[in-house]
Amino acid sequence: MSLDSSRGMTQRTIKIGIVGGTGYTGVELLRLLAQHPAAELKVITSRKEAGMPVAEMFPNLRGKVGLRFTEPSASALTACDVVFFATPNGVAMGEARALYDAGVRLIDIAADFRIKDVRLWEKWYGMKHACPGLVAEAVYGLPEANREKIKDARLVANPGCYPTVVQLGFLPLVEAGSVDLDHLIADAKSGVSGAGRKAEVHTLLAEASDNFKAYGVPGHRHHPEIAQGLTQAAGKPVGVVFVPHLTPMIRGIHATLYARLTKTVDLQALYQKRYANEAFVDVMPAGSHPDTRSVRGANTCRIAVHQPQGGDIVVVLSVIDNLVKGAAGQAVQNMNIMFGLPEASGLEQIALLP
């Protein structure tokens, strides 16, 4: 047990393993857990970098994380209370079953367990699912929608970055049944870190800088995840068009969401009531325009809702840091819920300005 003096309460120490700690999500997860009052980092795996001190790869962690990357070891990981998979899509599904059966709680930050329809997942991710039996056991980890289920979950499917910002923006309207559910539009823009820490031409400085472009317009793998979540919230199928864009910045997602109102509603009051008790959703005053830098480094989604010219179209502006609320921060938020900790533990960083 360890004492969190800032809250005057005793917390258990959570032994943590991270599979795949060398990507942007991995280092963000390490940054947050290194400051978490109840977290004890036990093992961080990387086949390629095994033996290298973590702080050698990520100097920002010098003096905070003293571990070395290690080869994945079943015995080391099964000795943990929770294991995070900060791996590319397709890795967790091959390793989750053994850990799950050993009683370890799992949080997959990739997409292996997000979509309940396995065949649909296989279509969008282009591979055979290696562990379909665990898909039904997985709880979709959007706390603002599934908090009660997350509490008892043994396997949490951490949402994608785009699905997080889009769902949080649409949820109050969809749950209230106040918009045309057949014609939702999500126009979203992300920084290049969303593509991961790998060498690809489209994320080179000379390609991404001073440039702005849409991609995945005919179809994007986050679409079925967004549709699944909104359908669950609505209680019936929804029709949503999702168009992602790449912007010349490192962090952040800005989603501009459109829907047609089907009944008169006080939009500001609707959003304020829905998120009144949510620590990580900030409904801004009427007329606001949230920007991505206001959430950089923080586990916060900032939302503003508009009704241009008093017409029947509602416009929702929703912003997150794709690496925090869109990935590692939300994963830590889920861990807190799973282990009965204060939900904001280790996640109270203020966004970085300028």
Q: How many alpha carbons fall within 13 Å on the CB side of residue 197?
A: 14
Cβ atoms of 36 and 346 closer than 8 Å: yes
* Burial call 173-195: b when 16+ CB within 10 Å, e when fewer: bbebebbebeebbbbbbbbbbbe
Cβ atoms of 214 and 189 closer than 8 Å: no
Cβ contacts of 3 within 8 Å, gap of 6 or more: 9, 10, 11
Catalytic residue among 80, 131, 161, 301: 161
- List residues bridging with 131 in a β-sheet: none
Enter the tokens of residue 29: 């997860």
Is 80 in the active site?
Answer: no
Cβ atoms of 145 and 334 closer than 8 Å: no
* Burial call 82-113: b when 16+ CB within 10 Å, e when fewer: bbbbbbebbbbbebbeebbeeebbbbbbbbbb
Kindly list the catalytic residues: 161
